[in-house]
Structure 1
Amino acid sequence: MKRKIIVLGLILSFAGFIFAAAGSQAEDFEIGATIGNFSLPATDGKTYSFNELKGKNGVVVIFLSAQCPVVKAYIERINQVAADYKSRGINFIGVNSNATESLEWVTSDTAENFTFPMLIDKGNVLADKLGATVTPETYYFNSDNVLLYHGAIDNDKSGKNIKTTYLRTAFDSALSGKPIERTKALAFGCSIKRVGEEK
C-alpha cells in the first residue's frame, strides 16, 4: 500500500510538471509594452544583447527547457517556424530560466536541438520581468521592442491536431501591416523552475 501511494504521488507530480499552463498572461508586461535592451550570457560562452539579436522585423523570445517533454514535442516545429521567418526579418532567441538545469546540460541540449542562440537567465530575472511561467512560452516583439503577441505556438502539443498556428498568424498579420487579431493564447507546457523551487 505504501509503495502504491509513493508511485501515485510521483505520477501526480510528473503530470503537474508536464501539463502546467501559464497562470497569467504576463499581467505586469502587457501587449503594447516596450522592453528595454538587456544582455545575457549564452551557451556558446558569449554575452548577447537583445537589440543585437533581433531581426529587422522583430524577434521572438521563447522560454525553453532541456528536460520538458512538451518542449521536446515542439522542437521540430520551433526550428521550422524560426527558419521560415528568419528570411523575413524575424529572429528567435531561446531563453532557459530553469534553476534545475545545469549550464552543461542546457549547452548540450541546445547544440543538439536548436538553431538559434540560447541565453541563460540565471536567477530567472527575465522570466520574472516578462511574467513567463512555462516552457515553451513565446513573446513576439516588433523592431521597436514593442510586445505584439504572447503565448502558445499553436493549439496542440502533439502536433497531430493543429487547428490554430497562433505565432505564425501573428507574424503574417504584422508583416502584412494588419492588426494581430489574437494577441494572447494561453501557453502550456512545463513550469519554469525558479530559484527556490528546485525540489
Structure 2
Amino acid sequence: MVTKTADICDFGWRAPDFRLPATDGKVYTLDHVRGERGTLIVFICNHCPYVKAIVDRLVRDARDLADHGVATAAICSNDGETYPQDSFDNMVHFAVEHGFTFPYLHDESQEVARAYEAVCTPDFFGFDADLGLQYRGRLDESRAVPVPDARRELYEAMVQVAQTGQGPRDQTASMGCSIKWKMS
C-alpha cells in the first residue's frame, strides 16, 4: 500500500468537465452533478482502507450537504484489471452496500483523475457555485482507522462555501492510498 497526500487547495482552479458512466446505469457530465451552491467531487475506490474508514461518514456528509445546495459525485479511477476489487461490477456492489445517494462514476481511462490531478483515495475537491476550487482538504482527522466524534472538516468547509462562496484558508490535506494507475 503506497500512501499519498493530496496537494493543498489552489483556490479558484476550475473543475475540468467529464462524461462518465455511473453505477446506476446512467452517464453523467460535470453539469449533471453540479450543485446550485457547490459541488463536491471525491476520488475514491472500493478496497482502500482509508476510504473504508470514512465511507459511511462521506455518505452522511453528502446527504447533509445536499440540504445546503451542495451536490456530490464520487469517481473511481483505479485500474480495475490489476485491482479487480475496484472493477465496475464491484463499484456497483460498493455503492449499494454503503447506500450512496450520489453518482459513483467510473473513470476507466483515468483521464479525469489526471485532469483533476487526483493523487490518492480519498481525494476531495470542493467547488463553489461557479466551479472554482475552494476546498482540497480531508473529510476529518481519520486515516485508515476512524476517529470517533471527529470534527466534520469537509462538511463545515462546504457549508461555508455554500454560504459565502469561499472555503476556509486553513485546510489539512487528505491522505490515502495512491491511485492505481494503469501501466503504459
When the two structures are aligned, how many residues end up with a matched partner?
177
CA offsets, 1:100-128, max 9 Å, x none?
A: 22111111111211221111111211111
Tell me the residue number matched to 1:22: 5
Runs (5+) with no aligned partner, structure 2: none
Match of 2:153 among 162, 166, 171: 166
- Identity across matched positions, percent: 28
> CA, structure 1 residues 111+178, in 2 after alignment: closer, same or farther (shift >3 Å)?
closer
Larger radius of gyration: 1
TM-score by length of 1: 0.80
RCO (CA 8 Å, sep 6+): is it higher in 1 or 2?
2
Q: CA deviation at 1:36?
A: 4.1
2:163 maps to a residue whose letter is: S
> CA, structure 1 residues 170+70, in 2 after alignment: closer, same or farther (shift >3 Å)?
same
Q: CA deviation at 1:174?
A: 2.0
RMSD between aligned residues: 2.1
Q: Distance in 2 between matches of 1:46 and 1:178?
A: 30
1:151 maps to a residue whose letter is: G
Q: CA deviation at 1:169?
A: 2.4
Please identify which structure carries the higher helix content: 1
SS in structure 2 at match of 1:185: coil
Conserved in 1, the CA contact under 8 Å of 2:38 and 2:158? no
TM-score by length of 2: 0.86
> CA, structure 1 residues 169+182, in 2 after alignment: closer, same or farther (shift >3 Å)?
farther
Hey, which bits of structure 1, 4+ residues long, moved more than 6 A? none
Q: Distance in 1 between matches of 2:5 and 2:181?
A: 14
Tell me the residue number matched to 2:60: 80
Tell me the residue number matched to 1:156: 142
Conserved in 2, the CA contact under 8 Å of 1:42 and 1:119? yes
Match of 2:104 among 115, 118, 127: 118
Q: Distance in 1 between matches of 2:51 and 2:96?
A: 15
